[in-house]
Amino acid sequence: MAVHPRFRPALVAVVLLAGPGLVDRLPAAVTLQKLSPGAVSPGRVTRLTCRGTELETARTLWTSFPAEVRKVSAKGDGAGQATFEVTLPAESIGRGAIRVVTDRGVSNVRLLLRESLTSHTDDRPADEKPLTLPLAIDGSVVAGEPDRCRIQLKAGERLTVDLWARRLGSSLDPVVRVIDPGGRTVIAEDDTPGLAGDVGFSVLAADEGVHTVSVTDVRRRGGDAYRYRLRLARYVPLTVAYPLFVRSGQPARLRLLGPGTTADRAVPGLPAGGTVWVGGPVGPGGGRALLSVQVDDRERGVESEPNDDGSKANPLAAGAGVSGLLDRPGDRDWFRITLKKGQRLQLVGRTASLGVAGRLYMRLCNAEGGTLVVAPQQAATRCVLDYTAAADAEVRLLVEDLQRRGGPGFAYHLDCRLRTADFDLGVAADRLQAVAGGSLSVKVTAARRDFQGAIRLSVEGLGKNVMLAGELIPAGKNETTLKITLPAGLEPGSLASLRIVGSGQLDTPPVGPTVKELSSIKYDRGDLGIFDDFISDKKGGLNFAEYDVELANAGEYLVLLRYAAAAQRVAVMKLDGRVVNSSIMSKTTGSWSTKTARWFNEGLVKFPKGKSVLRLEKVGVFSHLTAIRIALPAPRKKQPGRVIHARARVTVPLRKDLGGMPFVPRELDGTVLLSVGKK
Amino acid sequence: MFRILGNRRRLCDGLSRRDWLHVGGLGFLGVGLSDYLRLKAAQAAPAGGSSLDATFGRAKRCILLLPYGSPPQHETFDPKLEAPEEIQGELKAIPTSVPGYAIGEYLPKIARVADRLTVIRSMTHPFPVHCTAYVTSGIPTYSPALESRPRDPKLWPYIGSVVDYVQGRRESTIPLVPRNMALPWKMNSRGGPKAAAVQAGPYAAFLGPAYDPVLTEFEGEGNRKIYKISPGGTPTGGKRHDVFDPYAGIKPDGRFTLAGAQRRDSVTLERQNNRNGLLARFDRARRELDRNAETQSFDRYQQLALSLVSTTRVHAALDIHQESEKLRQDYGMNLFGQSCLAARRLVEAGSRFVTVFWDEYAYLNTDWDTHWNHFYRLKDRLLPGFDLGFSALISDLEDRGMLEDTLVVWMSEHGRTPRFNKNVGRDHWSRVYSIAMAGAGVGGGNIIGESDRLGGDVRSQPVSPKDILATILHLLGIDAHTTIPDRQDRPVPVAGTGVVRPEIFRGA
Amino acid sequence: MQRHVRTLTTSLLLTMPLCAAEPVVSRLTVEPAAVELSGRRQRVQLVVSGHRSDGSVIDLTHQARVTVEHRGTVGVQRGRVLPLANGTTRLTISASGQVLQLPVRVQRLEQTPPVSFRNGLLASLSKQGCNSGGCHGSPSGKGGFRLSLRAFDPTLDAQTLIREQFARRVNVFDPDKSLLLRKPTLQVAHGGGQQLRRHDPAYELIRDWIADGCPRDAEDSPRCVRTEVFPRDRFLKSPAVSQQLKVVAHFSDGSSRDVTHLAVYSSSNETLAEVDVAGWVTGTAVGQVGILVRFLDQMQATRLTFLKDRPGFVWNEPPVINEVDRHTFARLKEMQIVPSPLLTDGQFLRRVTLDVTGLLPTVKETRAFLADRRPDRRARLIAGLLAGEDHARFWAGRWADLFRMTRKQLGSTGVDKFHRWLVAAVRDNMPYDRFVRSLLTAQGDTFANPAANYYRAATDVEDATETTARHFLGIRIQCAKCHNHPYERWTQENYYGIAAFFNRVRRGKPDSAGNLVVWVARSGEISRPRGGNAVPWLPLTGNAKLPDPESDRRLALADWLVRKDNPLFARVEVNRLWSMLCGRGIIEPIDDFRASNPPANPPLLDWLAGEFQRSDFDRRHILSLILNSRTYQLDSLATDQNRHDQQLFSHAVAHRLSAEQVLDAICQVSQVPEQFGKLPAGTRATQLATPEDAPAFLRIFGKPSRETSCDCERQTGSTLSQHLTLVNGSLVSGKITHGKNRFRRLISAGRGDREILEDLYLAAFCRLPNSEELRVGLEYVGGAGNREKAHEDIQWAVINSREFLFRN
């Protein structure tokens, strides 16, 4: 059973505040709208101008990558602009995220690149001298009118175009066109497979002269939200850093693949849970391919050819992940998985969400090759196959490209795990503000997959004495408003990052000694005579039974109900008017006669010290309830109940701010940034 | 087998061979006696054999009255006095000029002219869904999904378009008064924001838009305030609205114009004639263009457009102010009555098939579709308007000696339920309902078919709406078996599975 | 049975009587060489051909006198030999002074085999038309009696004829009393009238079948596998005005029999020639006609060309620019039709610019071209227009009509991406085989691979089958979905054979951004309505060979399409290109390629198709070949010599501009652009991506709303509402009264009326006004009180004139 060990994220990320009214409202949102230039250069100091709102009290930048930031004053600084000097270590490349930190709070996130190409803006004079490679252009498209840039190329010179828009959170759906000196279109490229809607290609200039590179939106839209960074260089393009996942803490050798070229890159041991960027070989004059690899703490393998037919399938263990390559058209990869009866297998294949081309077709067969199940095709980018083993058996999985394509760009990553009842958590805000010792509340929602039990939330990253309220998502419910009271010791003006983790009890803990036993109420139903097992007090309508409970000391107790039921009559349990379990008495005993009644453990309920009122409530008739018992849970030490954990993700607020980006960068997801205000 | 001769048309799958017309019946192509006898034998009708040949081609023109929403048969032509109160409701019946036949008590004038009517009380078909397209074209199968798509390739041509197409084949000239017209406006175009989705019906389908009915426009206002309750389930559900519904009464200065042909104010008649002259001299000064089928049809329609804009013939026909005040009052000073009057003037001026819609106005389902507010609508404006308009049209045609070669038909999509619903309204019902016909070749005082005691099912002589189409075409001199090529050039019978019903001619 | 009424046709009548100077018949031949008759129901049709000294052939079957040596053995009526008694004899045939002997043998009259259900009875019912579409063959039958359309389902018919309604239709004990005979002969009332007479061959066959106890065919009974028509293709020079056909059926057991009296004949062009029930074809006008001969499910077509020496015909040897002209003029010379003269430069400029880019040339371009004196100016103009962006956008719109490109169908981003892909395909002149292959075998995201939108528009198997067959094979396969094709040999099985290529295509649901996945399942078969699974089948070749059962079958279809020996693919596309430029296809309609609808000029079509394949499917090469040819540049003004020709391109076909061209032309002539919703200013109507952006004006003029994938949805005929819109509509009046329209700009620039008129004529007609037009115009402006209003009226008259609204 997969348990997420405690981990410490290397990267902290935060996104625009969302969900008005959920958090005590900030006076006016601190926003970051435009960055220029669109990239910071490694190994040098870059003067970065940030435009947005409420920036007059800007102090520094939060960055998702190690960097030194110094606030400087420049012409035009004020509420709408702040300028910083950012110094990066020499080897820092790839994509990164930044926010402006002000006394009034933290801005929304903006993505930018870390690379050495010299940046130009797109509003250059039209008659200006043609530029020479390599270079980069930061700009935003005007509605219906292409952005043009004139470059000087020699005959046979390589022009590599790499346009970042969707991958930086822009709403632009780019079309890039290269026009030769004679006015003919050399190439016009729309969605390059694997770049999430962006464009990347490499051509050799046929003849000497001034070429024009034009960028437009496919639907002729325009405006600030349609920004892009157009990288033009001479390096040989690469498409995949393989394998796609490496295990944290261990050095790994990566193969960088591209059309007609490969390179090797060694990677030191890395902390888990993020994305690491590797650069391809530097092209003449500078500029290199930027590729990413995911890092996490799980068992990561690589497929080994030949596995082109069922008999040569690679073994695949539950809980493991494997990267694969479809290196030639029609390439098929087979895997073997041994399952026990009743185990629920889930195979998740990823391509586009990891920035590689291709779409997977997955088919699970039995040993003889007969099809068991084919993964459904949806427009979503992950290919998910679910199968419940009918008997102990070895099954075979076929993985191939939906259109049987293959080549250097076609890699994939396959996760194999046994599905148990579990859940995901989502938090509604990516950045919060509060005063030391003050309190704030944020909405947390749960997406349940077969797990109906209660979920207990806890907060990591703020130290010990944090007071929480509303931290229990009751069984059957899917959301709560978590109220966090900050420890007094937080230093005002500081920035803290917190993570919300939820844990759920898979099976209720074993029953310990009984503390209290209550018998059912005797009552006269009138038409059906006197009952000693309570089923209902009126014809139809709301039925309920209330019991006075007095306990010596507060704490979590198990509530057990003894009842007989031929059919499922689910009821609700309340304590002092508050729902503590919304699906009780859901079991059956085969008949209504109280002779078949049995004890059923309805799970933990937190009782206060002294008197309280326990109420069972249901619309319509109850099952035949004969007795109620309140008991202490058996001490955990002997055999701890299976507990599942999940880290709250911040996908929804992140996606709202990152424009057309189909999948949120893994390194940004999961952490909420808290800025501690002055008193 | 009967087919229609056509010239080389670029129908979707028009075969390069010509499709051709072979029409049984007198006049055209001088077809011999044998076909004539064959037709008689084919009908093998029980009633008087001679009625078929005597009535073929009797009608020179037809006025089709289409009340959208399906009038209730119990309160009009098929009252059920012996049925209990919750079936017949509060309106009783009155005797008519036809001994032994009683009619709804709110139709006194129609009761007097009943001896000129053929009433069919045993209409039936299986689609209780406002299927205007089903009852006015030969389409054999039907689905409500077609209702909201007037240009759906599966639809068949409107009966008025068939008449226009056949007549167009006979005489190659285009008449100065369009043959196939419709009043007072485009069906369901003034039904308010939530207008009924029903649009399909009066369109020429695969015959092409050239044969759609030529529409008029009504410029005028209602002068009587009535109230309408908008349908439940809509944002204004159940709310009461005061509406000046032109069907409840109009100011006398209201007038009909030909959609699109009303000259712009900046262009006087004199300037329009100058323009026409200029265009003619330009064309003459220019060298002769290739005279193929397309250029000829271009010229014909251009001449018709120019004449509609410059001459007054059609505008005069539409000008009801030329009629006496008394006659206008006889027709009823409301949109339905004045439309009937304008229709009579149009057929008199030469149009061949004129349709009058009694359309929904301002709010969905607030006119003949009486699911709720049933008796108020019927008593306040629907029955009185129908009574005045329909009886005045018949008497007016008779006074002018036009009745014996003009066919008048009052029919709708279907009838309404015998039992009242919870809002004391009647819902849709197509198992049995009634229609009325008068004029050319149609029997007087001729009551056909019966419904059962409750007016819920047909007791005798069931008649399908397709039979009515076949009979109308027969009276207009078009054999019901005539076929026209559809989009895939399959021979398609104009009246679908309809058969001419000679009982309608009894007593003509 | 189709009844023919001799109709008066306005075209030239072939005069029947012989002319004076007449070449003499030197030799007689007869088909067949010998007559074999066994069984009393057999017939043999003789076809007597007279060969004349000038090499031409004349049919003398109905003029020949035939005498039988031993009377009583056989009888001969209008060339048809009937057996009377066993024995051998000889026929003596004399015509036009020549004599011919023919051996005859009649045997086994008494052992006449029982009538076969399919080859005898069903053939008779088809001959008499009982099972035709308008009668008992219609889906709901007639009068409660339903037969399968043209006997395509013998088992159903057997059930109906023999078993249904307690076998009341057949009376085995007294066959003549069977309803099956008494109804069509009108002894009993019959809705369809008299369709059978006692002396018809079919009567005897039906009667004998009933008398033989209504036998069904044994499983292995011989089936007709092929029919042969004599003469195959023949030129008939006046005074030869008729031709008797002979049809021989070949059966699966190797036997063959004359079925001329049982075959069903129909002419592909009734105005040129008609055929009677006995297979006798009479020509009524000069031209070529295809006679379709149908016997059960076998179909053959024969091409007869009727020629007549036109008095005073002199071939004017028009200069030949390229092969297109050579083939066209050869055909015209043969049919003795003189082509019209060449277009003037102005007319040519207007026509070619409208055809290639959809737009009118600007005044500047017109003045430049009229001033250009270079001999190759027309070729340069054509090359320039073909390489332009306007051409790419206009012709992409025509593909978009066929692929049902609407926002409703493909989503707004999908439309823009697919439109961009189509425009790029035309601009970069993507080879046509690659264009069709990338559409047919498209897979994946409709955003990443816009060609996959082909399967988003064709929403299911039937749609994909019919769209592909109609546009890339030119066959109307949808007619064969419920029964056999009425005029071609496509059977219902063939329909499902082609559908078997597409039944594995799957479509996902569109995601929030409107993207949709098209992919191919690895398994799944399509079942035929009459049982069993359909096997992928290729027209004219048979079942397709599939590499492996899980492969994408569409690849096999795409590979077959582009093979050089595929007779359909190249022809359909060159015919479409020809139709788009010349207003009418060499085969018309352009999606109805079948034997019984022959091309007007077969050598021309074959050469164009060959050239298309030799140039590796280069569409621009074919376009420039046609545009540069003299045939394309002929005037549309017909002369007395060629007025009657509608098929052989002796003169251009004038047709009204398309809806989009009309609107763009009005905007250009009035210099007042139209704004389409939120689209950038200056967008042209001819370049709109989807009808949803189109104003009501375009719908009135017939712009299709792309509900079906058929180009017939574009209404090209004139209607009253179109002319009311032009004469009195707000759009036209808005343009001519606009403050900054063409003539008002010239007036404010101080130009004279003459200059304004000339500028208007150059803009509208690409020529200067002639003296008469100038006089009428100046006179009108002079006479009118208000100068601006006069010019408004002139602009109105030009916009409503036929020369402006037509592509001449």
pLDDT tens string A607-642: 888 889 988 888 878 888 888 888 888 765 555 567
The total number of structural domains in chain B stands at: 1
Judging contacts by C-beta atoms under 8 Å, the chain A residues touching residue C547 are none
Q: How many CA atoms lie within 13 A of C79 on its CB side?
A: 26
Put simply, the answer to whether A190 touches C445 (Cβ < 8 Å) is no
What is the structure's pLDDT at A246?
Answer: 87
Look at residue B160 in the predicted model and tell me its pLDDT: 95
| Residue A359 near residue A379, CB atoms below 8 Å | no
pLDDT at position A552 is 87
| All chains having 3 or more CB pairs closer than 8 angstroms to chain C | A, B
CATH architecture, range A511-633: Sandwich (2.60)
Residues with Cβ within 8 Å of residue C790, at least 6 apart in sequence = C780, C781, C783, C784
CB neighbours of residue A3 within 10 Å: 9
**Which of A219, A404, A662 faces C412 most closely, judged by CB atoms?**
A219
Which chains, if any, share at least 3 CB pairs under 8 A with chain B?
A: C
Tokens of B277: 């002259």
pLDDT at A17 over 50: no
Asked if C806's CB is within 8 angstroms of B278's CB, the reply is: no
Query: Which domains are present in chain C?
Result: 8-110+222-307 (2.60.40.1080), 117-211 (no CATH), 391-561 (no CATH), 659-701+718-807 (no CATH)
C537: distance to nearest CA of chain A, Å? 23
Sequence-distant (≥ 6) Cβ neighbours of residue B50 within 8 angstroms: none
Tell me which fold the domain A430-506+643-677 belongs to: Immunoglobulin-like (2.60.40)
Output the DSSP codes for A441-480. EEEEEEEEEB--S-EEEEEESS-S--EEES-EE-BT--EE
Is residue B108 situated within a structural domain? yes
Gap between the Cα atoms of A267 and A288, Å rounded: 17
Confidence of residue B164 (pLDDT cuts 50, 70, 90): very high
Ranges in chain C, pLDDT < 50: 1-20
Percent of chain B with pLDDT over 90: 45
Residue C794, pLDDT score:
93
**B120 secondary structure, DSSP code:** E
Nearest CA in chain B to C798: B279
Residues of A in contact with C509 (CB under 8 A): 378-379
Residue B415 belongs to a domain: yes
Give me the phi and psi of A561, to 5 degrees please.
-120, 140
Which chain B residues are within 8 Å of C772, Cβ to Cβ? 285
Q: Which residues contact C616 (CB under 8 A, 6 or more apart)?
A: C431, C433
User: Is residue B245 assigned to a domain?
Assistant: no
Residue B316 lies in a domain: no
Per-residue model confidence (pLDDT) at position A647: 85
Chain A: residues touching C (Cβ < 8 Å): 143-144, 173, 175, 185, 188, 190-191, 193, 197, 218-220, 359, 361, 363, 371, 374, 377-380, 402-404, 660, 662
Beta bridge partner(s), residue A676: A434
Q: Is residue C466 classed as helix, strand or coil in its secondary structure?
A: helix
Q: Per CATH, is A119-233 categorized as 3.40.190.10?
A: no
Question: B and A: touch, per 3+ CB pairs < 8 A?
Answer: no
B-chain residues within 8 Å CB-CB of C189?
41-42, 44
CATH code of A305-422, in short, is 2.60.120.380
- Going by pLDDT thresholds of 50, 70 and 90, the confidence category of residue B470 is very high
Burial degree of B85 (CB within 10 A; 0-12, 13-18, 19+): exposed
- Predicted confidence (pLDDT) at residue B403 exceeds the cutoff of 80: yes
Nearest to A415 by CA among A314, A317, A558, A520: A317
Identity of the amino acid at B256? F
| Residue ranges in B154-193 assigned as alpha helix (H) | 159-170
- Residue C323's alpha-carbon distances to C42, C334, C375, C382, C603, in angstroms, are 50, 17, 20, 18, 10
Cα(C120)–Cα(A660) distance, rounded to whole angstroms?
Answer: 71
Q: In sequence order, what DSSP letters do the residues of B331-384 get, joined into one string?
A: H-SSHHHHHHHHHHHHHHHT-SEEEEEE---SSTT-SS--SSSHHHHIIIIIHH
Q: Calculate mean pLDDT across residues A7-18.
A: 37
Alpha carbon of A60 to those of A40, A45, A175, A183, C283: distances in Å? 15, 15, 36, 48, 96
**Looking at residue C165, what is its pLDDT?**
67
User: Taking CB atoms and an 8 Å limit, are A185 and C428 in contact across chains?
Assistant: yes
Q: What is the pLDDT of residue C132?
A: 85
One-letter amino acid identity for C104?
Answer: V
Architecture of domain A31-109: Sandwich (2.60)
CA distance linking residue B411 with residue B71, whole number of Å? 9
Pairing between β-strand C233-237 and β-strand C298-307 as defined by DSSP bridges:
parallel
Of B22, B262, B488, the CB nearest to C5: B22
Encode C117-129 in three state secondary structure: HHHHHHHHHHHCC
* Beta-strand runs (E) in A287-380: 290-296, 300-302, 314-315, 321-325, 333-339, 344-350, 360-365, 371-374
The pLDDT, as a whole number, for residue B31 is 34
**Residue C334 confidence (pLDDT):** 85
Q: Beta B93-95 vs B102-104: how paired, if at all? A: antiparallel
| Euclidean distance between CA atoms A104 and C19, whole angstroms | 110
What confidence score (pLDDT) does residue A526 get? 61
Among A655-664, B294-303, C653-662, which stretch is predicted with the lowest mean pLDDT?
A655-664
Residue B459 is predicted with a pLDDT of: 92
* Cβ distance of B151 and C707 shorter than 8 Å: yes
**What torsion do the CA atoms of C191, C197, C201, C205 make, to the nearest 10 degrees?**
60
- Measured between alpha carbons, how far is A611 from A627 in angstroms, rounded to an integer? 19
Please give the Cα distance from C655 to B121 (Å, whole number): 52
Q: Which residue has the higher pLDDT, C357 or A643?
A: C357
Query: Which pLDDT tens digit goes with each residue over A337-380?
Result: 999 888 889 999 998 888 888 889 999 998 888 889 988 887 66
Tens of pLDDT, residue by residue over B170-182, are 887 778 888 999 9
Among A314-323, B78-87, B187-196, C507-516, name the one with the lowest average pLDDT. Answer: B187-196
Q: Which helix (H) or strand (E) holds A606?
A: strand A598-607
Question: Does B86 fall in a domain?
Answer: yes
A24 pLDDT tier (thresholds 50, 70, 90): very low
Q: What number is the average pLDDT over the span A139-145?
A: 87
Mean of pLDDT values over A537-547: 74
DSSP string across A545-568? EEEEEEESS-EEEEEEEEEE-SS-
Mutation target among C401, C639, C721 for the B interface, most CBs of B within 10 A:
C721
* Confidence (pLDDT) at A660: 65
H or E, element range at C732: helix C730-736
Instruction: Name chain C contacts of A175, Cβ cutoff 8 Å.
Output: 420
State the Cα–Cα distance between residues A261 and C395, nearest whole angstrom: 40
C411 to chain A: closest CA residue: A219
Nearest to C5 among B15, B29, B279 (CB): B29
Is it the case that residue B44 has pLDDT exceeding 60?
Answer: no
The average confidence (pLDDT) of chain A is 83
**Distance separating alpha carbons of residues B497 and B469, to the nearest angstrom:** 10
| Residue C240 neighbours by CB distance under 10 Å | 22
Neighbours of A392 (CB within 10 A): 11
Q: Which of B73, B75, B132 is nearest to B360 (CA)?
A: B132
Q: How confident is the model at residue A28 (pLDDT cuts 50, 70, 90)?
A: low
Which residue from B167, B352, B362, B149 is spatially nearest to B245, judged by alpha carbons? B362
The answer to whether the A119-233 and A511-633 domains have the same CATH topology is yes
pLDDT at C9: 38
Q: Contact C552/A404, CB-based, under 8 Å?
A: yes
Task: Tell me the chain A residues in contact with residue C447 when contact means C-beta distances shorter than 8 Å.
Answer: 191, 197
pLDDT tens, residue by residue, B343-386: 999 999 999 999 999 998 888 888 899 988 899 999 999 999 99
In this complex, which of C588, C717, C801 lies closest to B297 when CB atoms are compared?
C717
Residue A137's pLDDT is what? 93
Is B43's pLDDT higher than 70?
no
What is the predicted pLDDT for the residue at A641? 61
pLDDT at residue B458 tops 60: yes
Vertex C469, ends C464 and C474: CA angle to 5°?
150
Q: In Å, how far are B69, B193, B235, B425 from B230, measured between CA atoms?
A: 15, 11, 9, 14
CA distance B368 to C699: 32
Q: Which are the contacts of C557, defined by CB distance < 8 A and separation ≥ 6?
A: C440, C468, C498, C501, C536, C538, C544
Q: Which of C416, C519, C680 sits opposite A377 (nearest CB)?
A: C519
Q: List the single residue in C413, C444, C552 with the smallest CB-CB distance to A219.
A: C413
**Longest Cα separation, chain B:** 79
**C-beta of residue C348 within 8 angstroms of C-beta of residue C356:** no
When pLDDT is averaged across residues B154-163 and rounded to a whole number, the result is 92
Asked whether the beta carbons of residue A379 and residue C517 sit closer than 8 angstroms, the reply is yes
pTM comes to 0.78
Enter the ipTM: 0.72
CA distance C805 to C661: 9
Residue of C nearest to B494 (CA): C134
Task: Kindly report, residue by residue over C216-263, the tens digit of the pLDDT.
Answer: 888 888 888 889 999 988 888 877 788 999 999 999 989 898 999 889
**What's the rounded Cα separation, in Å, for the pair A653 and A22?**
13
Across the interface, whether the CB atoms of A403 and C420 are under 8 A apart is answered no
Give the Cα separation of A118 and A231 in Å (integer). Answer: 9
Which pLDDT score is estimated for B392?
Answer: 95
Q: Does residue A490 surpass a pLDDT of 90?
A: no
C191 to chain B: closest CA residue: B42
Residues A474-494, mean pLDDT to the nearest whole number: 83
Instruction: Flag if B264 and C728 touch (Cβ within 8 Å).
Output: yes
Measure the CA–CA gap between A175 and A165, rounded to whole angstroms: 11
Query: What distance in Å separates the CA atoms of residue C710 and residue A574, rounded to the nearest whole number?
Result: 66
Give me the residue spans of the domains in chain A.
31-109, 119-233, 240-296, 305-422, 430-506+643-677, 511-633
| pLDDT at residue A284 greater than cutoff 50 | yes
Burial label for C45, CB within 10 Å (0-12, 13-18, 19+), is buried
Q: What is the mean pLDDT of residues B313-330?
A: 91
What is the rounded distance in angstroms from the CA atom of residue A362 to the CA atom of residue A376? 9
* Distance of residue C313 Cα from the nearest chain A Cα, in angstroms: 51
| Candidates B17, B41, B298; nearest CB to C718 | B298
Question: A291 pairs with which residues across the strands?
Answer: A278
CA distance, residue B484 to nearest chain C CA (Å): 11
Q: What is the C-alpha to C-alpha distance for residues C184 and C187, in angstroms, rounded to an integer?
A: 8
**Domain hosting residue B410, numbered range:** 41-57+76-219+323-429+437-505
Contact C583, C566 (CB under 8 A): no
- How many other CB atoms are there within 10 angstroms of residue B420's CB atom? 18
Reduced to 3 states, what is the DSSP secondary structure of residue B183?
strand
* CA C766 – CA C651 distance, rounded (Å): 20
Joined together, the tokens standing for residue A488 give 């007094």
